[in-house]
A and B are shown apart, each in its own frame.
Chain A
């Protein structure tokens, strides 16, 4: 082999290697920029939930259109607050900023404008987070509840699938009200699902039973089945009042219709 030929072969081999590296790096980058749906599985063997009904829906079965009809009938103000929608709002805001800057004769004053043309993996995530803000507990209509105002949330893997997650999160300024709300929600779910497993960061000793949670403390009642997990919790928000939440969901990576299969 002549020197020229050897050099050509080496050059060619180098080009192939460089192209391969570039290709794989490009693929890795492309993969990172795209939404990858989780691989869903059937529930493992074990006790199934006796009921997945909560907050007016049947988790694993109720569809988005039914939830929209339900919340509409109750006069609730709800919207999809998915990350995909939020990205759209971000772009709208950026367009408005650019328009304002151009009107002011400063077209280069807006930073981050590339988001207008750049699609991200967030834009490809089909999840729907149907969120109703400022919902009074009395408006829920599924059962009598202590007074409270909070966020009602229904999460769907996509617009066509059944609801995966339903929750109602509300805040109280007063510990007594928060505890009563927590106990009420726990009692309601216990009637449906049986006794929960309960954990708490309540002081172990020296504190009156039912006394306020310590700062950032939490008390959680949990029901775990092979197809759903339900929780009721109360948490001390560290000087910002107390949060009470009740939720029932099909945990990932289970398929969202696991409770009805």
Chain B
């Protein structure tokens, strides 16, 4: 390396190589991705989020929710189980066969083999697939997150730290009212929560002629002084709508599960 030109060439090749690998190639492979079919149905996935939820994604970004929350579920593997749906013409033989077979905690191949044996005896079966892993066991989702889940997000906020729980399926766990209460006073819903309260997304105002129908029904220790009420600002509503829209648990070809 006698002159600067060679340093430039070396750097150019190294960085250019990884640019092709992790910028160009992903764009070519995934940049034109389209909706995929939901397994065993005629539905397609994903469908875009409703308008309010899209605005809520922006509130999520502005307040840096992704600093503490991930939106990606991992799975370690999957287990299959075989269930009998129809005993067929010779129920006795099928029952005998089933008592000699292991029908839960199987791999896909074992499940197929067991299913084939039962079919030979004349019974009809269904194979159930379930994802396994700590995230699944915690109820954060039914399957791992896959690239398809983020197709229509203008901003993909995967997050990298779980100071709080994963939110990939937050919409499946709680309703809008819970989300609003939890945003205003996290400790009112989750004892000992370390989440900072987002009171600035709400308005504490004097009750007018009639209490607002939108006012939060807070437990006494978190409630405002008598004569006041807590009403969510539009940002809080949008954020709650976004959280409700977070659902990624339909079975896909790349992540099969039984619903």
B and A form one assembly: no
Residues of A within 8 A of B (CB): none
Residues of B within 8 A of A (CB): none
